[in-house]
Structure 1
Amino acid sequence: MESCRDHFRTRRGFGGTTVAGVEEIDRRIVTLLAKDGRMSFTDLAKETGLSVSAVHQRVRRLEKRGVIHGYRALVNYDEIGLPLTAFVSIKPNDTAAPDDAPERLGHLSAIEACHSVAGEESYILKVRVASPLALEELLQQIRASANVSTRTTVVLSTPYDYRSPGTDADVEDGDAER
């Protein structure tokens, strides 16, 4: 007997097989836009074999559903004076205290991302700063603002970042980002 999960993953709907509620053609559109958020509807239509109006409708539907929830510029942080990237793992000094570190740290603009994680630490923060001294000052602010201890890993280089949610077929076709 087919489980609900199997049915959901493999059900067929208008436009083709769906995976986790997203049709294959929509997944292709999302992958293309993740690689180039400024791709025109005309270029998306060429890449997917759909009409421009069909692509436009699908993109709007994906935005409305929250599958696509924004577009942004990819920034060269070295060029804007923030060459140092680090990951800061934090855990509360008082485990009985409320778990409100993200709210307490929200005012620190050097924190690019905050991830809740399983393991010894509660959160991992991705931070970008101008120098080791700026990182040291940020760590002090993090500790004081959220009453946490920190463990820091400094990034030496980034071979790749901002990878799109491509499929194995994309890699086999030579479409993988370099």
Structure 2
Amino acid sequence: MTGARGKSVRSDDLDATDRVLVEELITDGRATLAHLAERAGLSVSAVQSRVRRLESSGVILGYTARVDREAIGQPLSAFVAITPLDPMAPDDAPARLRPLPEVQACHSVAGEDSYVLLVRVASPRDLERLLQQIRTTANVQTRSTIILQTFYDS
């Protein structure tokens, strides 16, 4: 696996203590160094050093807040499968779609479709507009699945 900073990181390069720290940070990205030190059985300075190493090697890619999408005006989420209209054209859809703030994720997939996007918008009308923008921006056809309910997302 290659980390975000282009460095090669293998899962067997992580020892048991690194794994404890990573799991704790997955559970709570705001965990204090003191809490992490207690869980890992290390000093705070040793934990700080390990966390910095995990960040610089690309194992830890960043920290983020999980938010209620309805509360921020994005109650509608959908998966949008895309396939290039011209298979001979350059495959640059991910780069073309990256600037669209409604596109939260882009996954390369095996199967009929080339990519599956996770998009979040305020309304069905906004989804319709976004789909048209995706089609024209990336020269792709789209197939959408609206998410009705999410049971877990970790």
The structure with the largest alpha-carbon Rg is 1
Amino acid at match of 1:45: A
CA distance in 2, matches of 1:46, 1:106: 40
Amino acid at match of 1:52: V
Aligned partner of residue 20 in structure 1, secondary structure: helix
Aligned with 1:35 (options 27, 38, 41) = 27
Residue 52 of structure 1 aligns with which residue? 44
Matched, 1:92 2:111: no
Aligned partner of residue 53 in structure 2, secondary structure: helix
CA RMSD across the alignment: 1.3
Residue 113 of structure 1 aligns with which residue? 105
Deviation at 1:20, TM superposition (A): 2.5
Q: Which sections of structure 1, spanning at least 5 residues, go unmatched?
A: 1-17, 164-178
CA distance in 1, matches of 2:11, 2:140: 40
Amino acid at match of 1:142: I
- Structure-1-length-normalised TM-score: 0.78
Residue 24 of structure 1 aligns with which residue? 16
Matches within 5 A, 1:74-93: 74-93=66-85
Size of the aligned set, in residue pairs, is: 145
CA distance in 1, matches of 2:42, 2:106: 38
Aligned partner of residue 159 in structure 1, secondary structure: coil
Deviation at 1:46, TM superposition (A): 1.2
Percentage of matched positions with identical amino acids: 57
Matched, 1:148 2:140: yes
Q: Which sections of structure 2, spanning at least 5 residues, go unmatched?
A: 1-9
Residue 96 of structure 2 aligns with which residue? 104
Residue 120 of structure 2 aligns with which residue? 128
Runs of 4+ in 1 over 6 A off after TM superposition: none
Aligned partner of residue 55 in structure 1, secondary structure: helix
CA distance in 1, matches of 2:30, 2:99: 30
Deviations 1:116-157 (Å, cap 9, x if unpaired)?
Answer: 111111111000000111111111111111111111111111
